[in-house]
Amino acid sequence: MSYFIEACCPSLESVRHSVEAGAGRIELCERLEVGGVTPSAELINAALKVAGNIPVNVLVRPREGDFVYSEEEILAMLDSIRVCKELGVNGVVIGALTPDGEVDMDTTARLIDAARPLSVTFHRAIDEAADIFAALEDVIGLDADRVLTSGGKASAYEGRFVLHELVERAAGRIIVMPGCGVRPGNIGEIATVTGAKEFHGSSVL
């Protein structure tokens, strides 16, 4: 059985491999060892050429660490979104939290407004939210297109039952995309339990 896979790619080589292996979409980043940060404009431009007709979404995250951002960091993310739009990417992958672990509605709204009409994914910042189900409703309220999540657990497999509930609660209002540790040996069960239609992995499965 085949699955729609968004391949997480931290290099041009990984983009090339993922395209050849049949990825449905690319999520481009750098420094995957720290969870990923915004890639350079040069890498984005090169990746778009290699990807061809395969959509490329770009992670917009100015640094490693938490998802509570200063105004200076927010301005840097807005500038990265501007660059992404100029280069012609398919979408951006964003997210911000408050110190209390809630979705930072003001910051995230600014990022989404700046990104449109590009596709918008709210990333795994949701997995660090104090209440993942309340955070889901907030992200839906912000009109994001999808949310990337492991169900608040260390991996999507461990979080598969939470992911199932997220998919149920979303009820088609947003795409819930399981990610983190999705592999050939577990994607079948993750898909069956969660009912998800898109999956995020570091390689094409």
Cis bond before residue 117 (omega within 30° of 0): yes
Q: Across the strands, what pairs with 93?
A: 59, 121
- Per-residue model confidence as pLDDT tens digits over 27-55: 999 999 898 999 999 999 999 999 999 99
Please indicate, yes or no, whether the overall pTM of this predicted structure exceeds 0.85: yes
Nearest to 60, CA basis, from 43, 76, 72, 42: 76
Domains contained in the chain, CATH given: 4-201 (3.20.20.380)
What is the C-alpha to C-alpha distance for residues 123 and 50, in angstroms, rounded to an integer?
24
pLDDT of residue 204: 54
pLDDT of residue 28: 98
Mean pLDDT of the 105-115 span: 98
Percent of the chain's residues with pLDDT above 70: 98
- Per-residue model confidence as pLDDT tens digits over 138-173: 999 999 999 999 999 999 999 999 999 999 999 999
Cα 195 to Cα 10, 49, 82, 120, 185: the distances in Å are: 28, 33, 34, 21, 17
Query: What residue has token string 């999808």?
Result: 146
Would you place residue 205 in the very low, low, confident or very high pLDDT band (cuts 50, 70, 90)?
Answer: very low
Would you place residue 105 in the very low, low, confident or very high pLDDT band (cuts 50, 70, 90)?
Answer: very high
Cα 97 to Cα 69, 116, 141, 195: the distances in Å are: 8, 20, 15, 27
